[in-house]
Amino acid sequence: MSRLRFWNEKAETMSRDELSALQLERLRWTVKHVWSNNGFYRDKLTEAGIEPGDIRALEDLKRLPFLTKDDFRDQYPLKMLCAPRNAVREMHMSSGSTGTPVVMAYTETDLVQWAECMARCQVMAGLQPGDTLQIMPTFGLFNGGFGFYHGARLAGLFIVPASSGNTARQIMLMRDFKVRGIGSVVSYASRIIEMLDEQGVDLPDLEIGIFGAESFSDEMRRRVEERLNIKAFDIYGMTETGGVGTTGMDCEARCGIHVWEDQYLTEIVDPVTGEPMPDGAAGEVVFTSLTRDAVPVIRYRTRDLTRIASRERCACGRTSLRIDRIEGRCDDMLIVKGVNFFPKQVEQALMEIPGVLPEYQIIIENDHGVTGVRVNVEAEEGVTGYMVEKHLKERLGFSPKGDVFKAGALPRSEGKAKRVFRVDK
Ligand code: DLL
């Protein structure tokens, strides 16, 4: 059997004209669907002076009001539902750091859509029907585990549903079941590497890692690829758009994340004013779902920062637009002594120092109105705080304090890693 390069060649390589026509048809359907089936959406559209018939061209998208995480929270638990309650088959939820959770509900149609997006990602990463995939994000309210699962079922993979935690068992499973691909939250890859080093073993069958849920630097990716001897892909998604993989993944060409454009419209806006930004300019990415049934999103403000990298056909043959890998969340931008930076930039700079290990913390200290930064990082013997400070100063343009810890000294997380801590002195 010949190797699959695409899961859905027709959808993934559609011409721009075909794509635009399909997007318009689906946008019109989505607006009509939410208008007809949900009071919250109808009120929102009415307030903006929009009726479904007003959407005549893709440019009309800009007339539609934005949707925010607060809208999801305010409509908790199911007030955004556009399908009958008895048609819901699954739900996922993200809690975030503040209060009320965000809920996503799925009808059968939505589960098929999610599986389709994830199967495209898995095949784009090089997985083939029959290959073994170990799924390491948690199975539960977090969408990660089930997202990989639904996609892998559709793509015909041999699933090892390991979920998170118990790293020694994860390694045993990978070895015993000759696992070819893993799906994981990025920071968990470091846990695996740590234990492999401890045990002095390798994973000879592993070739593919699909990592996401957090921003990660190129240098972190390089290290993971080198130690595990794999190709690592960056998968993107969120509860609000329907979960992991819905908003795409990068391909082997490494020219940005392919957004599944027949499924979502992508805009970049100024994170402060909400004004649309031109291609190439950095801003907040905003998604509109085109096929979601239970809880469609119209102009969802993700708070994630990126830019449109290209709308040209990619070297991999896919025609969907590409966005840069996510720089960070608007809310995570740190401003210290007039310098703006994201945790990912600190990570990149740290990982450039030989002997520095992937576990680190950024502590923002507020000393009576004066902000200082301390970076705690694990490193091998020989790396000093001064070396860390000097390199960060060179790369970031300001001088944080650098404290070096022994391997294993900083706390570990099984899910998304918490990297930034704010303390008042
Ligand atoms: O984190 C979905 C996911 C699971 C993606 C597993 C990849 C792998 P949420 O918990 O709702 O869903 O968090 C969504 O996480 O808005 C981004 O800020 C961040 N995020 C997700 N993927 C990436 C990525 C999942 N590849 C939020 N790069 C998003 C950077 C990411 N940030």
- Predicted confidence at residue 98, as pLDDT, reads 64
Pairing of strands 88-94, 132-135: unpaired
- Predicted confidence at residue 276, as pLDDT, reads 97
Mean pLDDT of the chain: 96
Those residues with Cβ within 8 angstroms of residue 158's Cβ, 6 or more apart along the chain or in another chain: 130, 131, 132, 133, 177
Average of pLDDT values for 194-218? 97
Task: Name the β-bridge partners of 220.
Answer: none
Domain 333-424, classified CATH 3.90.850.10, yes or no? no
- Predicted confidence at residue 97, as pLDDT, reads 61
CA distances from 323 to 120, 267, 288, 348 (A): 17, 10, 15, 20
Q: Which CATH superfamily is domain 1-329 in?
A: ANL, N-terminal domain (3.40.50.12780)
- Predicted confidence at residue 340, as pLDDT, reads 87
For ligand 1, the distance from its centroid to the CA atom of residue 285, given in whole angstroms, is: 13
Do residues 267 and 61 make contact, with C-beta atoms less than 8 angstroms apart? Answer: yes
User: What distance separates the 2 farthest-apart alpha carbons in the chain?
Assistant: 68
- Predicted confidence at residue 414, as pLDDT, reads 80
How sure is the predictor about 99, in pLDDT bands with cuts at 50, 70 and 90?
A: confident
Query: Whose Cα sits closest to atom 1 in ligand 1?
Result: 213
Average of pLDDT values for 41-62? 98
Q: Assess whether pLDDT exceeds 80 at residue 96.
A: no
User: Residues 142-172: pLDDT tens digits?
Assistant: 999 999 999 999 999 999 999 999 999 999 9
The two counts, helices (H) then strands (E), for the chain are 11, 21
- Predicted confidence at residue 255, as pLDDT, reads 95
Average of pLDDT values for 248-263? 98
Domain boundaries along the sequence of the chain: 1-329, 333-424
How sure is the predictor about 397, in pLDDT bands with cuts at 50, 70 and 90?
A: confident
Look at the block and give the residue holding tokens 């083939």. Answer: 128
Dist CA 126 CA 226 (whole Å): 18
Average of pLDDT values for 88-96? 92
In this prediction, what percent of the chain has a pLDDT beyond 70? 99
DSSP string, 34-101: HHHH-HHHHHHHHHTT--GGG--SGGGGGGSPPB-HHHHHHTTTTTT--S-GGGEEEEEEE--SSSS-
Task: Name the β-bridge partners of 363.
Answer: 374, 421
Task: For ligand 1, say whether the CB of 117 is within 6 Å of any of its atoms.
Answer: no
How sure is the predictor about 122, in pLDDT bands with cuts at 50, 70 and 90?
A: very high
- Predicted confidence at residue 1, as pLDDT, reads 67
CA atoms within 13 A on the CB side of 361: 17
Query: Whose Cα sits closest to atom 29 in ligand 1?
Result: 238
User: Residues 351-395: pLDDT tens digits?
Assistant: 999 999 999 999 999 888 888 899 999 999 999 999 999 999 999
Atom of ligand 1 nearest to the CA of 304: 18
User: Residues 309-356: pLDDT tens digits?
Assistant: 999 999 999 999 999 999 999 988 888 888 889 999 999 999 999 999
For ligand 1, the distance from its centroid to the CA atom of residue 243, given in whole angstroms, is: 8
- Which of 326, 347, 348, 418 to mutate to test ligand 1, by most ligand atoms within 8 A of the CB atom? 326
